[in-house]
Amino acid sequence: MIPSPLLAIRNLTVEFATRRGTVTAVKAIDIDVGKGETVAIVGESGSGKSVTSYALMRILDRAGRIASGSMIFSGLELARMPELEMRNLRGRELSMIFQNPRAALNPIRKIGHQIEDVLRQHALVGATQAQQRAIEALANVRIARPEERYHAYPFELSGGMCQRVVIALALACRPQLLIADEPTTGLDVTTQKAVMDLVSELTRERAMSSILITHDLGLAAAYADRVVVMEKGDVVETADADTIFRTPYHAYTRKLMRATPRPGCQLRDLLPEETTSPAPSPVADQPSKQQHAPLLRVENLIKEYPKAKSAGSLLSLLGGKSEEPFRAVNAISFCVGRGESVGLVGESGCGKSTTSLMVARLIDATSGRIEFDGTDLTQIPARQFAASPFRARIQMVFQDPTDSLNPRFTAARAIADPLLRFPRLKHGESMRQRCEKLAGQVGLPLDLLDRFPHQLSGGQKARVGIARAIALEPDLIILDEPTAALDVSVQAVVLNLLQELKQKLGMSYLFVSHDLHVVGLMCDRLIVMRGGEIVEQGNSADILANPRHEYTQALIAAIPAPPASK
């Protein structure tokens, strides 16, 4: 006799009312979750995976509604359950880890008190026991010094630590089913592994069932028993994890598998099979590193920040010893050749973004040299660098394609922005013509140029950011996690686009990332940072194949990768 599942979703359809009519986000799907089982729901943005979880928790926004279908959880019908009864189930029997931990936490309330709120809501403890139970919940998710962290506010914690707090909130009442919605988005690979190992261990210890919602196929392969693939609101494939990754039968699943960076693949391998003109491989078509003449040379670069004022500041006024400043970047040296791609990798807080901001001259260095084409740029203060001719030669593509665009500017106006500051129009060329030419170079349809950022997809906004960066034909582009917020298929297209533009325009790249697979595909050389220092640098292929430093080894070991399909 086959045991009945803990959760059985049947013919679930979810609709949203919009100005243009009704949109069906989830279309008559069926999903089962067994007791003690972990099921991953994978798919790209807009596939309906998160909407499915919101429907299950009954937290759809006002425009959304469950149009039809049933959701049977532990014998209870959730689809038509009164809100008061549903409120008693949330947190106690059904719990959720949300995608953005900082947004999920109350910024003006101590984290210990937020855990107490959950416990008291479900009458699991009295007022005298609440604090101790909250501290125990923090200890259970491996937060060091939980008694101290109990009194901390979310802004005082790192992203990984906030994620652990959200997990503690979700598990405080020992629910039967845990839903994790993109629980590692924005985390570096080692923190991602620690968080997922923790969730997996705790759910196994407590015999809980879990749903992992992700667009990272490597994560699904490493932690799920079964995988459900969704595309445009439909479930297109369901199978156990090993089967679905080794022998996927649906074309969409194969497309996702192909677009996922993995050891041994080239950039062109990430593109769909029907693509006819892939970008050249950096390994096959780039000159060797000995042929790269230096364009950027960084020597003994240091960046220090004063520590927050505290009692120590008062002691210094009274003649005591003042506190040492925090050193974010500690005397690092490296170079980037002409036409070369150099990857800068490491965990959050390692100093890579601070380094990129100093090279881009958005912040000043404490000491050291940043020599660009023979000129020491540290002699030009960051506040004055925007007016320097060197500004046009060093450009940046930012991590978040949404936040880096002015919401009041159309795509055309955003692309034109650097051209308005540093006119570089060719004879007889209008600004509109130049914007259209740049849009063509990055594969942005011309009919999108008059749209605002909120009217564009993530991939389209990324293309606008790249077009803006290449508008002045710079010598060096700093790419700060340019594909971190993109789906794997969009990431594949953007990475190939960047490589193609580099070949055509002869630019150099400083590629900042925590994804070593992506950096290995894009970069000739690799620089690994930890604690503000460079621990290893050299040829990308050599470092990825034979890392010497134990930290590099740990970074590579932490990257989840799906098994190779047959």
- Kindly report, residue by residue over 139-186, the tens digit of the pLDDT: 888 888 889 889 999 888 877 788 888 888 888 888 899 999 888 776
Report whether 495 contacts 416 (CB < 8 A).
no
DSSP string, 88-101: HHBTTTEEEE-S-H
- At residue 377, the pLDDT reads 93
Write down the number of H helices and E strands in the chain: 22, 20
Angle in degrees, 0-180, between the axes of helices 189-205 and 550-557, rounded to the nearest 10: 60
The burial class, CB within 10 Å (0-12 / 13-18 / 19+), for 532 is buried
Report whether 273 contacts 258 (CB < 8 A).
yes
Task: Please tell me whether residue 175 adopts helix, strand or coil conformation.
Answer: coil
| CA pair distance 431, 195, nearest whole angstrom | 49
pLDDT at 445 over 80: yes
- Kindly report, residue by residue over 174-205, the tens digit of the pLDDT: 889 999 988 877 677 777 788 888 888 888 88
| CA pair distance 387, 560, nearest whole angstrom | 44
Across the range 473-494, mean pLDDT stands at: 83
- Kindly report, residue by residue over 203-233, the tens digit of the pLDDT: 888 888 999 998 888 888 889 999 999 998 9
| CA pair distance 269, 21, nearest whole angstrom | 39
| CA pair distance 79, 442, nearest whole angstrom | 45
CA torsion through residues 459, 464, 468, 473, sign: positive
Question: Percentage of the chain with pLDDT > 70?
Answer: 90
Report whether 338 contacts 357 (CB < 8 A).
no
pLDDT at 115 over 50: yes
What is the chain's mean pLDDT, rounded? Answer: 85
Q: Which residue has the tokens 């190992």?
A: 197
Q: Where is average pLDDT lowest: 86-100, 231-245, 484-498?
A: 484-498
Nearest-CA neighbor of 39 among 27, 26, 30?
A: 30
**H or E element: which one contains 315?**
helix 311-317
pLDDT at 292 over 50: yes
pLDDT at 56 over 90: yes
| Pairing relationship of beta strands 177-181 and 94-97 according to DSSP bridges | parallel
Nearest-CA neighbor of 451 among 415, 489, 423?
A: 415
Of 315-324, 347-356, 461-470, highest mean pLDDT: 461-470
Per the confidence metrics, is the pTM higher than 0.85?
no
* pLDDT confidence bin for 11, thresholds 50/70/90: very high
Amino acid of residue 317: L
- Kindly report, residue by residue over 12-42, the tens digit of the pLDDT: 999 998 887 898 999 999 999 999 999 999 9
* pLDDT confidence bin for 462, thresholds 50/70/90: confident
Question: C-alpha angle with apex 61: 452 to 23, nearest 5 degrees?
Answer: 65
| Pairing relationship of beta strands 76-77 and 64-73 according to DSSP bridges | antiparallel
φ, ψ dihedrals at 188, nearest 5°: -70, 165
* pLDDT confidence bin for 287, thresholds 50/70/90: very low
* pLDDT confidence bin for 311, thresholds 50/70/90: very low
| Residue with more model confidence, 399 or 59 | 59
